Amino acid sequence: MAGQRRRSRKREQTEYFFDYSLLFIVLFLLGFGLVMVYSASYYEAFSDTGDVAYYLKRQLAADIVGLVAMIVVANIPYHFWERFATLGYVVSMILILLVLTPLGIERNGARRWIGVEGFPFNLQPAEVAKLGMILFLAAMVCKMGKSVRTMKGFLLMVVVPLPIVLLVWQLTNNLSSAIIIMGISLLMVFVASPDYKKFVIMGAAALGAAALLVVIIVNADSVEGFRSERILAWLDPESYAQGKGFQTLQALYAIGSGGIWGKGLGQSMQKLNFLPEAQNDMIFSIICEELGLFGAIAIILMFILLLWRMMIIANNATDLFGALLVVGVMGHIAIQAILNIAVVTSTIPNTGISLPFISYGGSSVMFLLIEIGLVLSVAKRIQLKT
């Protein structure tokens, strides 16, 4: 009896953690995203469909489906997914290949989606690949153990993502998603094998190659390919104001006209068919125009808080697999948000990439919420001793 009482007291002294702060931040970003999607899209939606809330309704439906999936995943022990890690890698590859079949859907000159006629949602395989890569690399690191710190293990971890990265880049013509997948992979490898020298060398080599590419394009007698044109438009957008530099210039006009406090919610001028993809990749410029520098900084701070909460969960995870899952999700959100803001502010060349939880896009928000479900699942297994 005495032993049973001691065990009972021990159970009572152990509580399980649930990160309500993380959940609140995600819900806030989703709600804010719905407001901004409606504000940025109602003019275009009415012009194209006659329904001012067309994009809002579709985004709301995707948010609801994503939240349901998040709740389900959060209540499943995260180790359950470890057994499906290899399957996730293979399925990601198969889904990417399906864009070449009749199931593939082409928009704006790129086949990046698969879908069935009559079904309300289309699937972007690159979003599946991001989640699949996080699961696969986390499981792989745990299986490799200390060998991941050797040069052979390091090279293996770097090479494994390349088939998916190349397929996303070449078959779906989606360089931005390929960069994100590779960035997620490198971050997870860095956490598993924190050898600064290797990553400094790789980073310097990548920057050197990028600089060399820009120099070659600038000094070439003739330029072919839309990515080369985008680089030239990035360097001198005024010279390409009627072509590849148009979207960049309109985004900068929106940011500049917003000032510190903005024109007011719903008062953007650039969304009136001046700025292409206002509710998608360029929604941050509409935030700057309507809510000003204050609104832009507030959203950036919300992303920083989100990443901080994830870092706390990763540091306190009960095992390496859980910690790596959280690191992968954290890397996904951080890289995607940084790249989106950098594109909108013309810090880097223009490339199609959405702002997490805020930009219009069903596949993106649904799989991001599934990833948040994984993070919450890891958090729920953290024990608090009282």
Domain ranges for the chain: 25-385
Which amino acid is residue 274, in one-letter code?
F
SS3 label, residue 103: coil
pLDDT at 136: 94
d(CA 165, CA 132): 12
pLDDT at 248: 83
Taking the chain (386 residues) in runs of 10, the rounded mean pLDDT of each run is 50 64 94 93 85 91 94 93 91 90 77 72 87 94 83 84 90 86 90 76 80 73 62 73 77 87 87 82 91 93 95 91 94 94 86 89 91 94 69
Q: Are strands 383-385 and 104-107 parallel, antiparallel or unpaired?
A: unpaired
Give 193's contacts (C-beta < 8 A, 6+ positions apart). 148, 149, 153, 154, 157
Torsion of CA 271, 275, 276, 278, to 10 degrees: -50
d(CA 106, CA 111): 4
Query: Residue 219 burial by CB count (10 A; 0-12/13-18/19+): exposed, middle or buried?
Result: exposed
Phi, psi of 311 (to 5 degrees): -65, -40
Q: pLDDT digit string (tens) for 312-359?
A: 999 988 889 999 999 999 999 999 999 999 988 888 887 778 899 999
The answer, as to whether pTM is greater than 0.75, is yes
DSSP one-letter code for 99: G
